[in-house]
């Protein structure tokens, strides 16, 4: 599928990209975020949350693994997962014992590359990269069918 690339000069640009991506997301969609520490995965998720109009402040879910945001005006809730601590072994997101039915939600997973792709028929993969000591980030994103590896 088509791969798109954008340079993100500041955190506001990353959030704006998230709002744009939210326009093409619907219930049941999976978003896999890849990129090193501080690349902007949570910032991008904040933009997606704003675009979906969900409730609650997006923050790093690192210590709780997953955070659920109730649906807002678009009627789609957001589940924000941090797979960093899952040790690359996530057979079922159901194991997280969420109240939200994942088929009804947009699910965004930080550190999810190679871990969660099998949970959906297709996913939106977003790779964020950065230069040391710079605010500039580069995003490359594409919809990927199946669980194909990079």
Ligand X SMILES: Nc1ncnc2c1ncn2[C@@H]1O[C@H](COP(=O)(O)OP(=O)(O)OP(=O)(O)O)[C@@H](O)[C@H]1O
65 binds, among Mg ion, ligand X, none (CB under 5 to 8 A by kind): none
List the single partner that 43 binds among ligand X, Mg ion, none, CB under 5 to 8 Å by kind. Answer: ligand X
Per CB under 5 A, the list member of 39, 41, 81, 124 interacting with Mg ion is 41
**Is residue 141 a contact partner of residue 52, using CB atoms and an 8 Å limit?**
no
For Mg ion, the closer CB: 27 or 96 = 96
Contact flag: residue 125 with Mg ion (CB under 5 A) = no
**Contact call for residue 60 and Mg ion (CB under 5 A):** yes
Helix (H, G, I), strand (E, B) or coil at 37: coil
Bridge partners (DSSP) listed for residue 82:
110
- Least distance from ligand X to the Cβ atom of residue 140, Å: 14
Give the residue with the Cβ less far from ligand X, 71 or 84.
Answer: 84
Residues binding Mg ion: what is the number (CB under 5 A)? Answer: 4
Question: Is residue 42 part of the contact set for Mg ion (CB under 5 A)?
Answer: yes
CB-nearer residue toward ligand X: 30 or 71: 30
Task: Give the integer Cα–Cα distance in Å for 90 and 73.
Answer: 31
Q: Which of 127, 66, 126 is nearest to 96 (CA)?
A: 66
Half-sphere exposure of 90 (CA within 13 A, CB side): 26
DSSP string covering 42-60:
HHHHHHHHHHHT-SS----
Q: Could you tell me the sign of the dihedral formed by the alpha carbons of 69, 72, 37, 93, in that order? A: positive
Chain residues in the site for ligand X (CB under 6 A) = 8, 10-11, 13-14, 35, 37-43, 60, 110, 135, 137
Interface residues with Mg ion (CB under 5 A)? Answer: 41-42, 60, 110
């Amino acid at each position: 599928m088509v791969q798109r690339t954008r340079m993100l000069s500041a955190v506001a640009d990353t959030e704006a990209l998230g709002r744009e991506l939210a326009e093409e997301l619907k219930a049941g969609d999976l978003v896999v975020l890849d990129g090193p520490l501080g690349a902007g995965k949570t910032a991008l998720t904040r933009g997606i949350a704003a675009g979906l109009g969900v409730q609650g402040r997006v923050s790093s879910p690192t210590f709780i693994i997953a955070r659920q945001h109730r649906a807002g005006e678009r009627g789609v809730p957001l589940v924000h997962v941090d797979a960093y601590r899952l040790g690359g072994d996530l057979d079922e997101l159901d194991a997280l014992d969420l109240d939200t039915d994942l088929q009804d939600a947009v699910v965004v997973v930080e550190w999810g590359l190679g871990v969660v792709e099998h949970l959906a028929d297709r996913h939106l993969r977003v790779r964020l990269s950065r230069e040391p000591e710079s605010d500039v980030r580069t995003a490359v994103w594409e919809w990927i069918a199946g669980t194909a590896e990079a």
